[in-house]
Amino acid sequence: MGPHEMPFSDITIEFDCATCGPKIGFALFDVAREYERMRYSGPTESDDVEIDVSSAASIAIYCSKVCRDQGRPVVMSEMRICPSIQPPSFGPVEVCARCAGPVDMSDWHLAILESDTNTTALPFKPVEVEYIAVICRTCAPISTFRLKKRGV
Ligand SMILES: [Zn+2]
Ligand SMILES: [Zn+2]
């Protein structure tokens, strides 16, 4: 444990759960989107993949996995993610969750993912991350993403 990882058991955070409203809690369960690309250092095994991440942002925050399970279909529909398309693996080519076309995972693309964050220790770190979808550059061009992120 490093100097910035002291346990802080009395931390509580206030937030709005997207399913059940205002909450004070110790853990966050969110659905986020980020631009990322995979860098394959060897054969395309997941162990040999490094991920560059840019412009990460939460789409929705929940107080529990139950609330996230309830809210997920709403987020997926807002993000126009087709529920019948399987969640992606680590490439090198995965399936776009909007158009079912190919996503070149080594090039920048939009990824939708869920993370569980334990807030009882600083710094807050996701303890578990799971990918829901990747979206191709045609469906989510970088310029569109950046404009949206600024709230334009
Ligand atoms: Zn909730
Ligand atoms: Zn697409």
Domain positions in the chain: 13-149
**Which ligand is closest in space to the CA of residue 60?**
1
- Environment class of 104 (CB within 10 Å of its CB; exposed 0-12, middle 13-18, buried 19+): middle
pTM of whole model > 0.85? no
Closest CA to 25 of 122, 118, 123: 118
Look up tokens 């250092």; give the residue.
Answer: 41
Which of the residue ranges 21-25, 74-78, 120-124 would you say has the lowest mean pLDDT? 120-124
**Residue 149 alpha carbon to ligand 1 centre in Å:** 25
**Residue 51 alpha carbon to ligand 1 centre in Å:** 30
**Residue 38 alpha carbon to ligand 2 centre in Å:** 18
**Which ligand is closest in space to the CA of residue 109?**
2
**Which ligand is closest in space to the CA of residue 137?**
2
Per residue in 18-58, pLDDT (tens digit) is 999 999 877 789 999 999 999 988 765 556 788 899 888 89
Q: Which residues surround ligand 1, an ion (CB under 5 A)?
A: 17, 19-20, 63, 67
Q: Which residues surround ligand 2, an ion (CB under 5 A)?
A: 96, 98-99, 101, 136, 139
**Which ligand is closest in space to the CA of residue 71?**
1
Answer yes or no: is pLDDT of 80 > 50: yes
Q: Computed over its alpha carbons, how large is the radius of gyration of the chain?
A: 17
